């Protein structure tokens, strides 16, 4: 099993899934990924009076909002599992599939406290997205997450306005410590 498969297996197990291998000499290998799936109920919002809105807002209030800008769904699910399980605060986790979507979400949602930013994404990379987000809100904390760990990449991240830098595969403790620096999560 190569390093990529070991990481995939670990990610699958963290979110309650399994990665299985069936191999026959001379015939090849078959990999199966089984993941738990529980669809969320869709909530349709119609005209709601102000007092009901205030009640719902207080019930659904979160201590923090974290945007995860990550084009790989498995990586997002892994990060989401860590964040929802380990953070002591109640955090609202948002997901952007690319840099452009991350910028738009930050533009339209002033409650975002922190962004976990992947670098290699379609349409707009993480550096460009960080630069645009910092123009909108220079106080938002942005932590880069990347598999490309070089001095040049770290320099690019700083120049773009990133506040922190963590490497993939993501170490849970490193992730939580980095987030804790910016959110004061009580970790």
- Where, residue-wise, is CATH 3.40.50.2300 in the chain? 63-183
Lowest mean pLDDT among 67-71, 83-87, 141-145: 83-87
Model confidence pLDDT, tens digit, residues 29-62:
887 777 776 544 433 333 333 334 433 433 444 5
Instruction: Report the candidate in 34, 79, 58 with the shortest Cα–Cα distance to residue 169.
Output: 79
Both structure tokens of 150: 């070089």
Fold entry, domain 63-183: Rossmann fold (3.40.50)
Exposed, middle or buried by CB within 10 Å (0-12, 13-18, 19+), for 102? buried
Terminal Cα distance for the chain, rounded: 34
Mean pLDDT, the chain, integer: 80
Q: What is the pTM of this model?
A: 0.67
Which residue carries 């498995």 as its tokens?
74
């Amino acid at each position: 099993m190569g390093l990529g498969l070991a990481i995939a297996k670990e990610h699958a197990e963290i979110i309650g899934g399994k990665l299985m291998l069936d191999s026959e000499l001379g015939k090849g290998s078959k990999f199966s990924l089984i993941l738990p799936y529980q669809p969320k109920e869709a909530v349709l919002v119609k005209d709601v009076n102000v007092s009901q809105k205030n009640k719902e807002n207080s019930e659904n209030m979160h201590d923090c909002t974290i945007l995860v800008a990550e084009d790989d769904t498995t990586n997002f699910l892994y990060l989401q599992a860590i964040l929802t399980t380990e953070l002591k605060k109640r955090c609202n986790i948002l997901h952007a599939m690319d840099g452009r979507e991350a910028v738009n979400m930050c533009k339209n949602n002033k409650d975002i406290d922190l962004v976990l930013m992947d670098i290699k994404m379609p349409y707009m990379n993480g550096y460009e997205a960080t630069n645009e987000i910092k123009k909108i809100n220079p106080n938002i904390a942005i932590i880069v997450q990347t598999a490309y760990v070089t001095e040049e990449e770290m320099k690019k991240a700083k120049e773009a306005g990133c506040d922190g830098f963590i490497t993939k595969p993501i170490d849970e403790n490193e992730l939580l410590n980095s987030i804790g620096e910016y959110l004061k999560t009580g970790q």
